[in-house]
Homo-oligomer: A and B are copies of this chain.
Amino acid sequence: MNSSRRQILMPSNTMQALRKLRPAAGMNIESVPVPEFDPSDILVRVRAASICGTDLHIYHWDRWSASRLNPPVTTGHEFCGVVEKIGTNVTCVKPGDFVSAEMHLACGHCRACRMGQPHVCMNGRIIGIDSDGAFAEFVVIPESNIWKVDPSIPEHYAAILDPLGNAVHTVLSGPVSGLTVGVTGAGPIGLMSIAVARACGATRIYAIEVKPHRRDLAKKMGADEVFDPTVGDVVEQIKEATDGAGVDVLLEMSGNPNAIHQGFQMLRNGGRASLLGIPNRPVELNLVADIIFKGATVHGIYGRRMFETWVQTTELLKAGRLNLEPLFNERMPLDKYEEAFALLESGEAGKILFYPNGSK
């Protein structure tokens, strides 16, 4: 640690980073200069960084990646670390502080920002996608977006505040305490949403998921019942379980059109559906039966409320209300990235963590 700390003080210093170098599939570890930073920025030494499905899309260079990224760029937007240095205008953290960051940068002046919704800023940029991110020894964060993390929160939990925040945002986009909840899709964020819903007083949580090991995880995270939507009529089963009413709240975490259909069908009249899962094509909805005559409220969920969601998320963690251990999988150095992406792609992985500055 001492030696690497010394290095940063020298202008010629370099660091390892996992970068998208060319507009094509693949990524590379590269040695790059430790980034410079502005007076209102913070230089963070990355402790742990987590891989998001988006990183996999970037790795494969899908259509969305091609339309958005301008290589070369250092990837990675889920992380925690320790403040290494602060710009001269920075007052809210100091070197040594344990931090994470909201990687979505809002412009502050568009209509959405002005209406108190910077998470859907019309000019939003994302660190790790539109500029150099956290799959590196160091990352630069503007003070507006740094998030001080209570030292009592474990490092591996702090590394996934971004997707955990997605889950908290989804669950708490409407009332959930004392209500029944259906969760369609038990991938990592779906699983987190189960734990969050339970911690926030959801009384019966029904998880719908095709993969058996994810159904097992759903149970471990706090689902009361799990359903395989390929067996029998899951909508009828859930209606039966809810005395014919359907669930008060639908958390759509799959992006799968069938799951979306079933989710809306199992939603009770007057219920709330929060949609986070990202379908890869337009979805046909039975608007009349499933939304209009039902008097449903639907929330599109993107990112995290800035920064209510961060307050709620870190409060829940600090109070020990969320057991996320079942989610975690491999922890590896940055240079094992090919193995990591292969594992993620298998669909068997939970959250995979990189340790760019070496293991804990």
Q: In the assembled complex, how far is the CB of residue A273 from the closest CB belonging to chain B, in whole angstroms?
A: 9
Residue from B116, B180, B275, B294 in contact with A120 in the complex, judged by beta carbons closer than 8 Å:
B294
Total identical chains: 4
Q: Tell me which residues across on chain B come within 8 A of A302, comparing CB atoms.
A: 292-295
Residue from B112, B144, B176, B291 in contact with A269 in the complex, judged by beta carbons closer than 8 Å:
B112
Q: Tell me which residues across on chain B come within 8 A of A308, comparing CB atoms.
A: 114-116
Complex contact A311–B115 (CB within 8 A):
yes
The segment from A7-15, A196-204, A331-339 found at the interface with B is A196-204
Residue from B121, B200, B204, B287 in contact with A282 in the complex, judged by beta carbons closer than 8 Å:
B287
Q: Tell me which residues across on chain B come within 8 A of A72, comparing CB atoms.
A: none
CB-nearest residue of chain B to A278: B288
A28–B207 alpha-carbon span in the complex (Å): 52
Tell me if A's interface is mostly helix, strand, loop or mixed. Answer: loop
Q: What is the number of residues of chain A that contact chain B, defined by CB distance less than 8 Å?
A: 77
Q: Determine which residue in A115, A120, A282, A318 has the highest number of CB atoms from chain B within 10 A of its CB, and name it.
A: A115
CB-nearest residue of chain B to A294: B300
Q: In the assembled complex, how far is the CB of residue A36 from the closest CB belonging to chain B, in whole angstroms?
A: 16
A295–B309 alpha-carbon span in the complex (Å): 14
Given A114-B310, A204-B319, A316-B178: A275 in contact with B300 (beta carbons within 8 A) = no
Q: In the assembled complex, how far is the CB of residue A222 from the closest CB belonging to chain B, in whole angstroms?
A: 11
Q: Tell me which residues across on chain B come within 8 A of A270, comparing CB atoms.
A: 111-112, 115, 117, 120
CB-nearest residue of chain B to A111: B245
Question: Is A108 an interface residue, CB under 8 A from the partner?
Answer: yes
